[in-house]
Amino acid sequence: MKNFQSFISQEVMAAFETCGYEAQYGKVGLSNRPDLCEYQCNGAMACAKKYKKAPLVIAEEVVEKLTGNPIFEEISAVRPGFINIRVSGSFLANYLCQMQQDEHLSVEKAEQPKTIIVDYGGANVAKPLHVGHLRSAIIGESVKRIGRFLGHNVIGDVHLGDWGLQMGLIITEVKTRQPELPYFDEQYEGEYPSEAPFTISELEEIYPAASARSKEDEAYRQEALDATAKLQNGVRGYRALWQHILDVSIADLKKNYGNLNVEFDLWKKESDAQPYIPDMVEAMKRDGYAYMDQGALIVDIAEETDTKEVPPCMILKSDGAALYTTTDLATIIERRKLFDPDEIIYVVDKRQEMHFIQVFRCARKTGLVKEETGLKFLGFGTMNGKDGKPFKTREGGVMRLEYLISDIQQEMFRKIIENHEVDEAEARETAKLVALSAIKYGDLSNQASKDYVFDLDKFTSFEGNTGPYILYTIVRIKSILNKYRANGGKVEPGRIQAPASDSEKQLMLALTNFASALTQACEESAPHRICAFIYELANDLNHFYHETKILTEEDAGRKKSYIGLLDLTREVLETSIDLLGFSAPERM
């Protein structure tokens, strides 16, 4: 089914054509003067230039053709040539009834579904998740869900960092503490223990300790570099230890991402791309793209039109080691081989933009990707504290994600029990859901590329443009519907009638924007479009609610219509927040 606005456009375009003009001038948009009309068409102005006629004359001709059309309640031509439109209530009601009976809420799926890989999360093994990883997880998860809803085949890949110096550091620290372990005995030929020699909490303490020591102790650092190289070259004991680090760490990451409602289809790692590197390097040399420069192997990628310097892409360091860039290039090869994606979207801190410019250019230049494959960098801004600097703990350290989340849950719990008398266990569960909405909505309601201030008081407020406000609105609807059902009422689709008041019509019009909000969010990989849409919808719902007696309405048909409208609003809101990656409780 077509989206609402295009139905209207279609009519006006046909009228332009009947009057002898090109149809394209009849495109209709949302009104920017909601006090005057709901939709408007500005095409007569451009049309006038082409046909050398006064715009108002054209607008009047078109309006005359459309007068009496049952879609419009009012259509008029105004100076200098605008066409102002109000849609008819019955047409609107009809559309919503159909939307309600369509299992996909009248959102059309993509005509040509694409295979899209979303590279997000990007946690580094054995390092605790911190708030820097939060944005990638939140935005990426939403981009994935939106793409899927629109019918694309979307694959989410966490792309763990498991191959760099951090692994060498951990191995070195374990060796210092437990030198007797068989992993470090080069003569050892037996099987290694199946149990890891550390727990997750030990592991989380090991990495920062090792990292700090390497900054003061050069010999230690050298040993860690050495251990990294040995691991990468496949030394058996190191590989076995690395596998333990992965197992312990991934189990913990799964739990943490799970608490955030973030699920990856693939748990691929940087190391998975390593087998592709030798052939890739050979091909780049053979085809004349890569050359030696001061011992390093590089590919030039600067372009004449560059306004800022784009350094050459380094493929191998002078000691022959692969780099972050090398891994990302090899990952593209692997993804092409395994999934042949139409597009790869990288949801990564925007400070890594240059890295991705280099990777994308190098991949295109050396033919790693097909020409039509999209490579998209969705760079996000920093999450700052109220002081405008990157978010830190009160003590000034890096904030661990778990602590941040539990702080917010605590705050929500406090608010919930302060407001009502509720069972403590239920309040704890509700607090979890509401806290997640606060974090995710607080993030997603901003355009991803912008920095934003993490403001606990604002994000957890039940008023204003916040996650808790949206949940509150959903819960309000659920409670009315429950009361209605408790009194024997049945919630049925297809019973929505033409609106009886302005606030009702406003709510109905807001609902019709669902399909276009989603299409736009998907095309632009922009979850904030959905937030903007649901915020307006929630406002319109609350306005309608305050002005309307719903359960005490005496006209049975009208009451059914109200209930249907509420239920559709609930469904649209719940579907939307699911695409943002959170859900609503039954009560709060």
Confirm or reject binding of residue 413 to ligand ARG (CB under 6 A): no
Q: Whose Cβ is closer to ligand ARG: residue 139's or residue 150's? A: 139
Beta strands in 449-559, from DSSP E residues, in sequence order: 452-453
| 119 near ligand ARG, rule: CB under 6 A | yes
**Closest separation between CB of residue 516 and ligand ARG, Å?**
31
Q: Which lies closer to ligand ARG via its Cβ, residue 130 or residue 529?
A: 130
505-564 binders of ligand ARG (CB under 6 A): none
Contact between 582 and ligand ARG by CB under 6 A: the answer reads: no
Question: Is there binding between residue 348 and ligand ARG (CB under 6 A)?
Answer: yes
- Residue number with CB closer to ligand ARG (118 or 568): 118
Other CB atoms within a 10 A radius of the CB of residue 583 amount to: 14
Minimum distance from residue 161 beta carbon to ligand ARG (Å) = 4
CA distance 400 to 253: 13
* DSSP structural state of residue 396: S
At closest approach, how far in Å is the CB of 268 from ligand ARG?
10
- Candidate segments 83-91, 119-127, 190-198, 378-386, binder of ligand ARG by CB under 6 A: 119-127
Q: Minimum distance from CB of 327 to ligand ARG (Å)?
A: 8
Minimum distance from residue 119 beta carbon to ligand ARG (Å) = 5
Give the residue nearest to ligand ARG (CB). Answer: 122
Query: Regarding beta strands 383-384 and 452-453, do their DSSP bridges make them parallel or antiparallel, or are they unpaired?
Result: parallel
Round to whole Å and give the CA distance between 408 and 400: 13
Which is nearer to ligand ARG, 152 or 159 (by Cβ)? 159
Closest distance to ligand ARG from the beta carbon of 331 (Å): 6
Choose the stretch contacting ligand ARG; rule: CB under 6 A; options: 99-107, 116-124, 220-228, 277-285.
116-124
Distance in angstroms (rounded) separating the CA atoms of residues 137 and 557 = 46
End-to-end CA distance of the chain: 36
| Residue 162 in the binding site for ligand ARG (CB under 6 A) | no
Which of 274, 188, 159 is closest to 228 using CA atoms? Answer: 274
> Closest Cα partner for 120 from 169, 91, 154?
154
Select from 5, 40, 124, 409 the one that contacts ligand ARG (CB under 6 A): 124
Using the rule CB under 6 A, is 161 a contact of ligand ARG?
yes
| 3-class DSSP assignment, residue 587 | coil
Residue 409: both structure tokens together: 């849950």
Q: Minimum distance from CB of 291 to ligand ARG (Å)?
A: 25
* Segment near ligand ARG (CB under 6 A); pick from 117-125, 230-238, 418-426, 496-504: 117-125
Coil, strand or helix at 180: coil
Which CB sits closer to ligand ARG, 401 or 534?
A: 401
| Distance of alpha carbon 134 from alpha carbon 347, whole angstroms | 11
Q: β-pairing, 115-119 with 374-380?
A: unpaired
Sheet-wide strand order for 296-299: 290-293, 296-299, 313-316
User: E strand or H helix at 296, and its extent?
Assistant: strand 296-299
> Contact between 130 and ligand ARG (CB under 6 A)?
no
β-strands 296-299, 313-316 pairing? antiparallel
* Residue 243 tokens, joined: 């596998």
Q: What are phi and psi for residue 548, nearest 5 degrees?
A: -125, 135
Q: Which 355-374 residues touch ligand ARG, going by CB under 6 A? A: none
* Closer residue to ligand ARG (CB): 3 or 256: 256
Cβ-based nearer residue to ligand ARG, 148 or 335: 335
Q: How far apart are CA 138 and CA 116, in angstroms?
A: 17
- Mask 294-333, x = binds ligand ARG (CB under 6 A)? ----------------------------------x-----
Q: How many residues bind ligand ARG (CB under 6 A)?
A: 8
Which of 93, 84, 76 shows the shortest CA–CA distance to 42?
84
Window of 118-126, 288-296, 493-501, 554-562 that interacts with ligand ARG by CB under 6 A: 118-126
Pull the structure tokens for residue 442: 């607080």
| Cα-based distances in Å from 106 to 99, 298, 450 | 5, 51, 32
Interface residues with ligand ARG (CB under 6 A) are 119, 122, 124, 159, 161, 328, 346, 348
